[in-house]
Amino acid sequence: MSDEPNTNGKAAEPAQAPRLSIVLQYIKDISFENPKAPAGLQSNVRPEIQIKVDTRATQVSNDGHYEVVIDLEVEAKASEETIFLLELDYAGVFQIANIPPDSLQPLLMIECPRLLFPFARRIVADMTRDGGFPPLMIDPIDFVTLYRQRLASAASQAKAGGTDTALT
């Protein structure tokens, strides 16, 4: 139907399809601390594990390239002593085209991290295993909820102090 003339007498141009592609992905920063080794490795105490997750996105070029980073911090404690501490910033560069401006932020903060997460999860499992512990398999992360929490936090900060509400 795109061959039908429009009101100007010219053929209507087909709309460009939205496009999201991963250009590259990489470890931006990584750290594993095992302060109780070797004694901490021999303990039969099951540590309490806390995981903090954050995401960020920045435009790296004017041709639709964006860097998206998942920040993971994992701390295992037993009796208030740190057994291990893992920090990972896992990133990807995405090329994005033909995305409406109001859909860009959710795409960068939800879909892009969702594509990166399985790779970050594997790195965390390998690091904990290589550190002498059972592999830590992080449960899937709900990036939609994380995004909504960031929106709510930014809105409350803007309301309280008139600060910038940008998420990147």
Residue type, 113: P
Sign of the alpha-carbon torsion through 7, 10, 16, 17: positive
pTM of the predicted structure, to 2 decimals: 0.81
CA–CA separation, 113 vs 33, rounded Å?
25
In terms of CATH, what superfamily is 19-136?
SecB-like (3.10.420.10)
Q: What digits encode the pLDDT tens for the residues 23-35?
A: 999 999 999 999 9
| Domain ranges across the chain | 19-136
Within 8 A by CB and 6+ apart from 43, the residues are: 36, 78, 83
Q: What digits encode the pLDDT tens for the residues 35-58?
A: 988 876 777 778 899 999 999 999
Per DSSP, the three-state class of 37 is coil
For residue 26, the cross-strand partners are: 91
